[in-house]
């Protein structure tokens, strides 16, 4: 039972509710962080704005001081995450020297350190799950983030093939195959039961890397053809 206007005195219960604070600067990032966590956990549609606000320690009204709508908040969350991911990726790109295998290893583990193990990995799951509800966002991700990540791998593979360290491969398809375990790792972190690893992410990546480098080495024997060659 709740009194409509009970106890109008300012400090009704001594320290029940912490005092209101004015922190205009800090709110937006706190709100997007809370939103990212909840969107990733529950999905966009199933997440209540009041829960986001509560997690950020403000009321729902405050949220609307900083974001026009739920959708605008979502887009900001994704945008921020992508910017962070891009910055991380570009940084380690440019001036690395060493074998193609070493560069590949740098890329895989660097991705994990700077994106995979941070909250930014949640953006990956969000794109995967919500892309058909937000085509523009998906397009943006595809054009900017994904293509840049692919470019890094492409350069690496080309260097390896050019130097004879790797055998010739179909570049684009190989890139897809290399990225898949990374994307799955990002998704698995937020999908309990779906793909829980038996080991640590680090040894998972290491196994991926070893299989990969071994698989890319110049091989002697020919490989089998696909079993159903008559598929269109």
Site for a copy of itself contains 57 (CB under 8 A): no
Q: Which two tokens stand for residue 43?
A: 């999905």
Residues 102-161 that bind a copy of itself (CB under 8 A): 102, 105-106, 109, 113, 125, 127-133, 135, 138-139, 141-142, 146
Least distance (Å) from a copy of itself to the CB of residue 175? Answer: 8
Least distance (Å) from DNA to the CB of residue 16? Answer: 11
Site for DNA contains 49 (CB under 7 A): yes
Measured distance CA(24)–CA(74) in Å, rounded: 20
| Nearest CA among 123, 146, 142, 110 for reference residue 76 | 123
Least distance (Å) from DNA to the CB of residue 27? Answer: 5
| Nearest CA among 112, 125, 118, 138 for reference residue 206 | 112
Least distance (Å) from a copy of itself to the CB of residue 52? Answer: 15
Residue 228 partner contact from a copy of itself, DNA, none using kind-dependent CB cut-offs of 5 to 8 Å: a copy of itself
Which position has the token pair 């085509």? 135
Residue 39 partner contact from a copy of itself, DNA, none using kind-dependent CB cut-offs of 5 to 8 Å: none
Residues 11-50 that bind a copy of itself (CB under 8 A): 41-46
Measured distance CA(124)–CA(21) in Å, rounded: 34
Measured distance CA(216)–CA(105) in Å, rounded: 13
Q: Which two tokens stand for residue 126?
A: 């969000």
Residues 199-218 that bind a copy of itself (CB under 8 A): 199, 202-217
Task: Determine how many CB atoms are found less than 10 A away from the CB of residue 186.
Answer: 24
Site for DNA contains 43 (CB under 7 A): no
Measured distance CA(101)–CA(218) in Å, rounded: 13
Identify each DSSP E strand in the chain by its residue range.
none
Measured distance CA(140)–CA(123) in Å, rounded: 13
Pick the closer one to DNA by CB: 6 or 222.
6
Site for DNA contains 226 (CB under 7 A): no
Pick the closer one to DNA by CB: 47 or 105.
47
Pick the closer one to a copy of itself by CB: 56 or 212.
212
């Amino acid at each position: 039972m709740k009194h409509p206007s009970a106890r109008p005195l300012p400090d009704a219960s001594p320290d029940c509710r912490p005092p209101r604070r004015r922190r205009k600067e800090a709110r937006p990032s706190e709100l997007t962080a809370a939103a990212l966590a909840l969107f990733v956990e529950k999905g966009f549609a199933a997440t209540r704005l009041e829960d986001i606000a509560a997690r950020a320690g403000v009321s729902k009204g405050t949220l609307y001081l900083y974001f026009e709508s739920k959708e605008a908040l979502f887009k900001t969350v994704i945008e921020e995450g992508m910017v962070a991911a891009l910055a991380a990726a570009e940084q380690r790109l440019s001036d690395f020297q060493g074998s193609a295998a070493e560069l590949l290893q740098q890329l895989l583990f660097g991705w994990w350190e700077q994106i995979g193990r941070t909250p930014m990995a949640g953006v990956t799951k969000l794109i995967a799950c919500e892309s058909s509800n937000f085509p523009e966002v998906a397009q943006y991700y595809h054009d900017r983030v994904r293509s840049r990540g692919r470019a890094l791998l492409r350069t690496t593979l080309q260097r390896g093939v050019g130097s004879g360290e790797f055998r010739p491969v179909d570049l684009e398809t190989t890139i897809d195959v290399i990225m898949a375990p990374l994307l799955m790792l990002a998704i698995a972190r937020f999908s309990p039961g779906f793909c829980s690893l038996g080991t640590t992410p680090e040894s998972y990546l290491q196994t991926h890397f070893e299989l990969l480098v071994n698989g890319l080495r110049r091989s002697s024997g020919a490989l089998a053809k696909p079993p159903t060659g008559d598929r269109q």
